[in-house]
Amino acid sequence: MWGMKNRLGKLFKKDGHCFFLPIDHGYFQGPTQCLEKPGETIKPLLPYCDALFVTRGVLRACIDPTNTLPIILRVSGGTSMVGKDLANESLTTSIQEILRLNAAAVGLSIFVGSDYERETLLNLAKLVDECESYGIPVMAVTAVGKEMEKREARYLSLCCRIAAELGARVVKTYWCEKDFDKVVNGCPVPVVIAGGPKCETEQEVFKFVYDGMKKGAVGINLGRNVWQSPHPVAMARALQAIIHESANLPQAVEIFNEFKNK
Ligand code: 5RP
């Protein structure tokens, strides 16, 4: 499958690692802080990241088609922060649109253990069927909605394995302090670490990314901890160094400080 390999090759660099920058938050949160104008937010960050995770609406309205990164199109949604249940998502984007927008991959959320477990897992299976026909990789996002306490190894292992079994080529899941290696080891496809709400310090971010990579993740999909930072470019550059240059924590901090003062 040349097309599939070509698309995966755009997302994962030669070292097999990736730094995805998500700017899809508006699809259920509205104009998230620092993402009011997504096109402006990402401009200085593009040189340090490998792909953008974005909805078709923001893509069309805010992203320069002639000068950007590979696109992972967010294709699930239909819920909002103020609605009844964030888990009640459907597919929002047709295969024709995915092809027309030249997506390098698509991403959708699954909500294992929620009232909408079955629907969201069948969304994944349907999307895999459609996208595989055209060589487009599907990234499953193991989402927890507002139930952030669900983020522990047993639950995340279950979600990641199910996503892979249903045909996801990549799984994005949360980092957990204990037994993250078990989450990765139980998943037969690459695991990318999701971000979550902004951490108190940059060092905290560097640490969980560094530890996650050591425990087998292939990269990150980090949004708020990058573009809500007072120093987004320094954050992006330091994370790039951890992901692609094997930087350790002191080296990441040094790079961050160097870029922060530029
Ligand atoms: C939301 C998503 C987002 O892409 C991603 O998780 C948001 O990134 P961050 O949490 O790092 O701001 O999938 O379900």
172 is catalytic: yes
Q: Which has more pLDDT, 260 or 150?
A: 260
Q: Calculate how far, in angstroms, residue 106's C-alpha sits from the geometric centre of ligand 1.
A: 14
Q: How many angstroms is it from 8 CA to the middle of ligand 1?
A: 20
| CA dihedral of 205, 207, 208, 209, whole degrees rounded to 10 | 80
Among residues 4, 50, 56, the alpha carbon closest in space to that of 26 is found at 56
Q: Show me where the domains of the chain are located.
A: 2-198
Give the confidence band of 261 by pLDDT, cuts at 50, 70, 90. confident
pTM, entire model: 0.97
Q: With a 6 A CB cut-off, is 139 part of the ligand 1 pocket?
A: no
Whether residue 127 contacts residue 108, with contact meaning beta carbons closer than 8 Å, is answered with: yes
Distances (CA, A) of 34 to 26, 226, 230: 11, 10, 10
> Ligand 1 mean position to 2 CA, how many Å?
29
Residue 147: band (very low, low, confident or very high) from pLDDT cuts 50, 70, 90: confident
Question: For residue 193, what pLDDT is reported?
Answer: 97
Q: Cβ contacts of residue 218 below 8 Å, gap of 6+?
A: 12, 16, 17, 18, 190, 191, 192
Does ligand 1 have an atom closer than 6 angstroms to the CB of 222? yes
d(CA 88, CA 207): 33
How far, in Å, CA of 204 to CA of 200, rounded? Answer: 7
Q: What is the pLDDT of residues 200-217, one digit of tens each?
A: 999 999 999 999 999 999
Residue that is written with structure tokens 């909500």 in the block: 111
Distance between CA atoms of 15 and 27, rounded to whole angstroms?
A: 32
Core vs surface per residue 149-161: b (16+ CB within 10 A) or e: ebbebebbbebbb
Which residue shows structure tokens 């698509």?
Answer: 106
β-strand pairing of 90-91 with 76-77 = antiparallel
pLDDT digits (tens, 9 = 90+) for 95-134: 999 999 999 999 999 999 999 999 999 999 999 999 999 9
Mean pLDDT value of segment 231-260: 98
Please give the number of the atom of ligand 1 that sits closest to the Cα of 24. Answer: 4
Quote the CA–CA distance of 45 and 261 in Å, as a whole number: 16
Q: How far is the CA of 22 from the centre of ligand 1 (A)?
A: 6
Phi, psi of 184 (to 5 degrees): -70, -45
Whether the CA torsion 242, 248, 249, 251 is positive or negative: it is negative
Taking alpha carbons only, the member of 168, 231, 222, 229 closest to residue 195 is: 222
Report strand pairing: 170-174 vs 138-142: parallel
Atom number, ligand 1, closest to the C-alpha of residue 224: 12
Q: Whose CA is nearest to atom 4 of ligand 1?
A: 22
- Report pLDDT digits (tens) over 179-189: 999 999 999 99
Q: Please identify, in words, the CATH class of the domain defined by 2-198.
A: alpha beta
Mean pLDDT score of the chain: 96
User: How far is 223 from 42, CA to CA, in rounded Å?
Assistant: 10
Residue closest by Cα to atom 10 of ligand 1: 196
